[in-house]
Amino acid sequence: MEKENLVEIANTRMPFGKYQGRVLIDLPEEYLLWFARKGEFPQGKLGMLMEMTLAIKIEGLDSLVKPLKRG
């Protein structure tokens, strides 16, 4: 996992759905698990970042990413 990815996870907003507008690191773990169970993370970079976010949350490392938020 690259530092650039962590910065993106801390600052990229969810573009659709129930949690539209929320920063990825602030998405509920249950919501990310729902995508994982369905096997349907979005295509491309967003899906990759969401999968990384889930891994971070499962390992309890949210607190390492949250300080990377801008403003």
Per-residue pLDDT tens over the stretch 16-27: 999 999 999 999
**What domain range is 20 assigned to?**
3-68
Residue pLDDT, tens place only, 32-53:
999 999 999 999 999 999 999 9
SS (H, E, C) the chain: CCHHHHHHHHHCECCCCCCCCCEHHHCCHHHHHHHHHHCCCCCHHHHHHHHHHHHHHHCCCHHHHHHHCCC
pTM score, two decimals?
0.93
pLDDT band per the 50, 70, 90 thresholds, residue 66: very high
Residue 55 has pLDDT above 80, yes or no: yes
Number of domains composing the chain: 1
Provide the angle, in degrees to the nearest 10, between the axes of the packed helices 44-58 and 29-38: 120
